[in-house]
Amino acid sequence: MRLATWNVNSLKARLERVEAWLSAASPDVLCLQETKMADDAFPALALGALGYEGVHHGQGRWNGVAILSRIGITDVVHGFADGGPPDDEARLLTARCGTAVVVTAYAPNGRAVGHEQFHYKLAWFERLAAHLDAVADPSEEVVVCGDLNIAPEDRDVWDVEAIHGATHITDEERARFQRLLDWGLVDAFRRCYPDDDRLFTWWDYRAGNFHKHKGMRIDHVLVSEPLAERLSWSLVDRNARKGTGPSDHAPLLIEVEPEAVPA
């Protein structure tokens, strides 16, 4: 199974690039974040023409997440299944694709440490942990992916001193990321590149940061052990961040070998 996650920063503005990328990269599952559209604007026909079924959880101007799959989509859950009230913001979508439970997430940015939105971010990760308990078990095939808006380590940031005191790198946020790993998930990209620093998935549009390689690794694919033990490779497609009209995020892919079938 080939699975990818991509914060597209508006699916409407990025549809042609998404279509071209699907054809070139040929993922079985593509999780999207920041679609910035309402459910009735989701381009199901255009994506269906490429062989992908899609489910979308949106609200209009902001946020919005989707799962595209050519290996089936069932058991769709919009938002949190933790028993709490509905989230005001469309940031979470869960579905079964083939044999895997796939959770796609667009975590809150946090804006500034101590800001109301920062507390919302921390609480949002608490709910995500409870959501995982409700929809999946780490002994099965589970993928939690998306723009988590956390750089797990200092080496996942271009210059940690330059953003000292900012969001994405605080101990509180990193503890929430670690909690996902403790639940039974493996950071697939880091497992493939244990010794490489400054490999990023996002670069600010401003000040030519992409070309200066000033970015962060804030998009992640976390997989349960049954998938991690069959993980073949992972990569960030930086070419998709180039050219005219890119998202500020690059797609992140993983490839998992098929489960061995006894002869």
Partner DNA sequence: ATGGTAGAGCATCTA
* Residue 205 annotated in active site: no
CB of residue 191 vs DNA: minimum separation in angstroms?
A: 26
Residue whose C-alpha is closest to residue 149's, from 187, 116, 111: 111
Among 2, 25, 82, 111, binds DNA (CB under 7 A): 111
Q: Is 99 left (phi over 0), alpha (psi -120 to 50) or beta?
A: alpha
CB of residue 130 vs DNA: minimum separation in angstroms?
A: 22
**Binding-residue total with DNA (CB under 7 A):** 16
Q: For residues 145 and 58, what is the distance between their CA atoms, to the nearest angstrom?
A: 17
Among 13, 49, 123, 181, binds DNA (CB under 7 A): 13
193 binds DNA (CB under 7 A): no
Burial group, residue 198, by CB count within 10 angstroms (0-12, 13-18, 19+)? middle
* Residue 147 annotated in active site: yes
Specify whether the CB–CB gap between 2 and 21 falls below 8 A: no
CB of residue 133 vs DNA: minimum separation in angstroms?
A: 26
- Closest CB to DNA among 164 and 206? 206
245 binds DNA (CB under 7 A): yes
The CB-side HSE value for 156 (13 A sphere, CA atoms) comes to 20
Residues that bind DNA (CB under 7 A): 9-10, 12-13, 36, 60-62, 108-109, 111, 117, 205-207, 245
